[in-house]
């Protein structure tokens, strides 16, 4: 078995069950290493680039991040 030092795990915020994280924890317990969780956020402001000014895009992006990290 290859010895992995670092594992990147994608977290799905819409699911209670996180099979990728569960598998990473299992591997960590067996072979060690570090786990880094990644929470992707869909940024709707990219779809509206022609409708929003740069300041409005930045404000929308910050709003999305605030909602997801609250």
Domain boundaries, the chain: 1-39, 42-70
Rounded-to-integer distance, Cα 39 and Cα 9, Å: 9
Considering only residues 60 and 1, tell me which one the structure prediction assigns the higher pLDDT. 60
For 7-34, how does the pLDDT look when each residue is reduced to its tens digit (9 = 90+)? 999 999 889 999 999 999 999 999 999 9
- Residues 33, 37, 43, CA angle at the centre, nearest 5°? 155
CB atoms closer than 10 angstroms to residue 24: 20
User: Per-residue pLDDT for 57 more than 90?
Assistant: no
- Average pLDDT value for residue range 32-55: 80
Distance CA 31, CA 25 (A): 10
pLDDT of residue 1: 53
């Amino acid at each position: 078995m290859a010895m992995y030092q670092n594992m990147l795990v994608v977290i799905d915020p819409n699911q209670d069950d996180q099979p990728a994280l569960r598998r990473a924890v299992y591997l960590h317990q067996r072979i060690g290493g570090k786990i880094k969780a990644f929470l992707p956020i869909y940024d709707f402001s990219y779809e509206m680039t022609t409708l929003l000014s740069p300041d409005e895009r930045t404000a929308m992006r910050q709003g999305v991040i605030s909602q997801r990290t609250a």
